[in-house]
Structure 1
């Protein structure tokens, strides 16, 4: 944080950037197509153990980095894997690419294998997702953008998120490899903020069942850093471009009474890119995404930062840097920071207080 602009300045600046970027005409581009097919075969089986091979075919646009998920029946467990890093939590299994097989072009395939154990029966899993997209053998657009800039139709996301919730996105530029630490880490930060708000207010917000929606961006990192900038100051370019793209691709307004929205993007210019919030929105760049993934500093700093920015999204202004509340520099002391009674009242009576229950 020492190389980054002071957080207490962000709310004022963010209000301006979100309003301005909403008016910028971003290039009209087709949404990235997504689709996949998975063939899971049991290659061998013995008493209490088995070997399996999993073949993945990417039917959509090229991807750089993949994460395949499925659910095992009770009693099945992965023991050893090759050509992939496979982890298991309960019956949920996640396989992530290794360094040499993460890039899959349209129609491209890769495979990996593992040995496992079972008790009772050994059924083949029936449902898989690749980078969050169900592998049905077909292709669907990622989001559903309007057919033209003047169209009055509202884009519909591929899965309808519940209304009156906090909706969270991780936008991954085209040249950034998928890394499961990011959606998992961002989800963990949001759940901690959810706990903290209940502690402080007696009420808290609801997260969607898919806590973090992973979005493959339409551009590479450099585009987000350098496009739609004012002069040489790229501080707001990254989050402004993300904000504009998420609104356009997913039909989200600024603000939007249906959801409070959090967006994080894995792009940042050294010592320049940042983030902030205004009512209904939180926008954060690579610094915070890395922190949530456990890559950049102690977690209490990122927990406190999210609590701070959500405070702005719920309508709070910054406060004095030494007042002990998370709306000041005191958020660095998280969890030893607390909302004042006036701040609690303002959140509960504010435009997004209805999201708390």
Structure 2
């Protein structure tokens, strides 16, 4: 892993974001497994008007033809739409697929947008249904039974403030694999232990340590989009960073959480990751390593300790000095913060997160 600090993590201009990750009740024993995820983003807003983007992801069985419904607050109205046929009756809004985005395989998503008008407030809708099924949180099989398969998308709602929030972003063409959330959880818990060992205090993880997110695009999109020429080093993690901020309403940096994102996508020898205050972003080989698929585990533990150091405000060391902020992190756990590094973490922008 090249452990360069992130050059820049671009801010999001959206004025409102709602991410709904879903598990729904199947309507009957013979119905298809159902589940959905909706991300509603206010992309721009002006006096009396706004633009919005909506992404819907099918987490259940494949469907061919979809209808998304939600209810607006009083005074909001759709005036123009694209990539879907959108109609409105009173406050009730219905969006129906067009011919080229009707089919949604399991884990596949599609997006549409619209312009609207509003008077007074412009609140984000709070509930959606896909083909009559409420989007609320996982996938339920078609036949009732004592257990369900792991959901490819999980969310704990809004986590407590002053915690470390961790995401695994799974592109649409990557199968869910429990080794990834489990492995990333293990890396984060070991880093938590190490920080307590070194500082006498440590950070708090959320009750569900890793939020698994089905991405809006396939692996190739994350690798090749928004690149600067042939330099794809930052494309993957930059695209993940932007998507997480937009879908979950996270700032850069965010005073509520320190955020870690890992994505299962990268171009060999061209993709990496790094960190800046408040954020850690890592690409496919780090996610693979955490899952036990690639390389010795101490390499991934040491790498996370190093990147978290940047997220807490530390720079790279100028020499291999035995601290985890240098190449000495490859010797993890035989590496230690210097006293000056400890002082800088505790007095830095996220020092109050440690207890």
TM normalised by structure 1 equals 0.66
- Say whether the 8 Å CA contact 2:226–2:239 is kept in structure 1: yes
Q: CA RMSD in A?
A: 3.3
Query: Which residue of 1 is the match for residue 288 of structure 2?
Result: 290
- 2-side partners of 1:64 and 1:316: how far apart? 43
Distance 1:129 1:287, change over 3 A: closer
User: 1:218-276, CA deviations, whole angstroms, 9 ceiling, x for partnerless residues?
Assistant: 11111111111111111100000000111111111101111100000000001100000
- Quote how far apart the aligned CAs of 1:35 are: 3.2
- Quote how far apart the aligned CAs of 1:193 are: 0.1
Distance 1:176 1:128, change over 3 A: closer
2:323 is the counterpart of 1:325: yes
- 2-side partners of 1:227 and 1:64: how far apart? 28
- Which residue of 22, 30, 37 corresponds with 2:11? 22
2:238 is the counterpart of 1:250: no
- 1-side partners of 2:323 and 2:332: how far apart? 9
2:58 is the counterpart of 1:62: yes
- 1-side partners of 2:214 and 2:153: how far apart? 11
- 1-side partners of 2:290 and 2:143: how far apart? 29
Query: Which residue of 1 is the match for residue 171 of structure 2?
Result: 173
User: 1:282-305, CA deviations, whole angstroms, 9 ceiling, x for partnerless residues?
Assistant: 000001000000001111000000
- 2-side partners of 1:314 and 1:159: how far apart? 24
- 2-side partners of 1:55 and 1:308: how far apart? 48
User: 1:171-205, CA deviations, whole angstroms, 9 ceiling, x for partnerless residues?
Assistant: 11111111111011001100000000000000000
- 2-side partners of 1:242 and 1:229: how far apart? 13
- Say whether the 8 Å CA contact 1:56–1:109 is kept in structure 2: no
Distance 1:283 1:64, change over 3 A: farther
Question: SS where residue 33 of structure 2 aligns?
Answer: strand
Distance 1:40 1:344, change over 3 A: farther
- 2-side partners of 1:284 and 1:203: how far apart? 25
- Quote how far apart the aligned CAs of 1:59 are: 3.2
- Say whether the 8 Å CA contact 1:185–1:292 is kept in structure 2: yes
Query: Which residue of 1 is the match for residue 236 of structure 2?
Result: 238
5+ residue gaps, structure 2: 37-56, 62-104, 109-129, 132-138
- 2-side partners of 1:231 and 1:113: how far apart? 51
Query: Which residue of 2 is the match for residue 34 of structure 1?
Result: 22
Question: SS where residue 277 of structure 1 aligns?
Answer: strand
- 2-side partners of 1:328 and 1:165: how far apart? 26
Query: Which residue of 1 is the match for residue 257 of structure 2?
Result: 259
- 2-side partners of 1:283 and 1:303: how far apart? 15
Distance 1:304 1:58, change over 3 A: same
Question: SS where residue 324 of structure 1 aligns?
Answer: coil
- 2-side partners of 1:30 and 1:202: how far apart? 37
- Say whether the 8 Å CA contact 1:282–1:313 is kept in structure 2: yes
- 2-side partners of 1:249 and 1:231: how far apart? 27
Question: SS where residue 245 of structure 1 aligns?
Answer: helix
- 1-side partners of 2:59 and 2:171: how far apart? 10
| Mapping 1:206-225, distance limit 5 Å | 206-225=204-223
- Quote how far apart the aligned CAs of 1:130 are: 3.1
- Say whether the 8 Å CA contact 1:38–1:128 is kept in structure 2: no
5+ residue gaps, structure 1: 42-53, 66-101, 115-123, 134-156
Distance 1:161 1:231, change over 3 A: same
- Quote how far apart the aligned CAs of 1:160 are: 1.5
- Say whether the 8 Å CA contact 2:17–2:249 is kept in structure 1: no
- Say whether the 8 Å CA contact 1:64–1:175 is kept in structure 2: no
- Quote how far apart the aligned CAs of 1:322 are: 1.8
Query: Which residue of 1 is the match for residue 120 of structure 2?
Result: none
